Structure 1
Amino acid sequence: MLQAGDGSFHLNITEGCKLIFPPWDGGIRYRGLTREQVKMARFLPFDYEIEYVCRPEREIVGPKVRKCLPNGTWTNSDVESRCLRTCPKMHLSLENGQAHVWAIERVPVEGTWVEYRCNAGFHLVGSPRSNCTKAGRWSSAKPVCQSPTPGSAMEEPAPAPPPRSAAAHPGRRRLLQQQQQPPRFCP
């Protein structure tokens, strides 16, 4: 229990929850305590809450707030709280297509991945998958869905002209006759 006196405080060292360490690239906000008080504390009182905070361009994954329970443990103590780098949200949508996002928290963080697919009539230019890396960047540039352009492979081929008969074309008739004759050998 916190006890204030002449500007100092004392904690009952036999009750409460032990101080816990902040996540890498983050910190803990101790409500109502100064930095000096936290440095001197070994335990925090029952019902006391802490809040995790992360450095810029990072997001907390896992519990953001923990509370000291009457049994001397913190809520959700079996779930780790981590500060992970975030990636730009612009990769989470795709014009003329869909971006299917996997392993996302509130925002895209390290470990989030996206699969891209284009709507009917469009084809994907670029990588069909991208991962949010530890550096806070996507592993691949954002692809685009392009509509077919005239003369491209996506365009329907023009129908083939109807076959001509050999009789209708004299040069073709002569070529066919030559192909049907056995080869001649000179002595």
Structure 2
Amino acid sequence: MAAPVVVLDYGSGNLRSAERAVAVTGVEVVVTADLDQARAADGLVVPGVGAFAACMAGLDAVRGGALIAERVAAGRPTLAICVGHQVLFGSGVEHGVRSAGVGVWPGVVEQLQARRLPHMGWNTVQPAADSGLFAGVEDERFYFVHSYGVRILAEAPGRRITWAEHEGDRFVAAVEEGALWSTQFHPEKSGSAGTRLLTNWVATL
């Protein structure tokens, strides 16, 4: 029997911190690579740290891309974090090498145009209008650790895009579309604001 929330284990870190952060909201959380459990869960969390290509390789190894597509098609709540967020886009370019992403959203993950990289620490965001994810935390700060991001993403019906800036370079901080929500920052490292954000997500289960 699947737990209400599964944190997908595909070999890309932050699993336990994500598990603990979601559990603080009061739901049962299990970390597993079992696709049946992940498919059956009320909510799925896809974390990720490190390189885009390595995360995609790990996700492919557990057929995670197909799992995410299934859940999107079925309207089952899914939350992706950091590189888990990045791999949802069409492709990623690191050190001149382009790797294919899951391709749920059009967009290229590329190095931010900033003098100081990584973009590490607390930053504000500009939430999308009527954001469910940021309800009650629209003016809070969240914790980022990344050098790459999506700097162009087209508006679309039902797609809510939250933006942030680092040294004047604007990038996608979060996306909400149907049951699929994702954040470039780390809610699990964002203190009480992150807990409230995760609580907003859990409320959709």
Q: TM-score if structure 2 supplies the norm length? A: 0.19
User: Which structure shows the bigger proportion of residues in strand conformation?
Assistant: 2
Query: Bigger relative contact order, structure 1 or 2, given CA contacts below 8 A and separation 6+?
Result: 2
Looking at CA atoms only, which structure, 1 or 2, has the larger radius of gyration? 1
